[in-house]
Amino acid sequence: MVQRRYTSDLIIDMEGKVLDVINWELMAYPIYDYVKMFISQGCLFENEKIIKNATTAEGSKERDKPTPELAAHFKKYAEFFADFCLYQETLMTVDSYNLACAIVAYTRKYMGVAIIWSTEMTLLTSNTYPQFSNLY
What is the per-residue pLDDT across 27-66, written as a single tens digit (0 to 9) for each? 656 888 999 999 999 999 988 888 876 444 455 555 678 8
* Angle, helix 96-111 to helix 30-41, in steps of 10 degrees: 50
Residue 126 lies in a domain: yes
* Domain assignment present for 102: yes
Question: Structurally, how many domains does the chain consist of?
Answer: 1
18-22, 61-65, 76-80, 112-116: lowest mean pLDDT where? 61-65
Please give the average per-residue pLDDT across 106-116, as a whole number: 92
Does residue 60 or residue 98 have the better pLDDT?
A: 98
What is the percent of the chain where pLDDT is above 70? 85
Asked if the structure places residue 7 within a domain, the reply is: no
Checking if the pLDDT of 25 tops 80, the result is no
Most confident listed range (4-8, 56-60, 64-68, 69-73):
69-73
Residue 95 lies inside a defined structural domain of this protein: yes
pLDDT score for 19: 83
Contacts of 66 (CB under 8 A, 6+ apart): 44, 45, 46, 48, 50
Cα–Cα distances (Å) from 44 to 72, 98, 111, 117, 124, in that order, read 11, 19, 10, 11, 11
The arithmetic mean of pLDDT across residues 83-91, rounded, is 85
> What is the domain extent for residue 52?
25-132
Return the pLDDT at 108.
Answer: 94
18 domain-assigned: no
**Is 49 part of any domain?**
yes
Residue 123 vs residue 86, higher pLDDT: 123
Inside any domain, residue 116: yes
Indicate whether 14 belongs to any domain: no
pLDDT value of position 59: 52
| Amino acid type, 118 | S
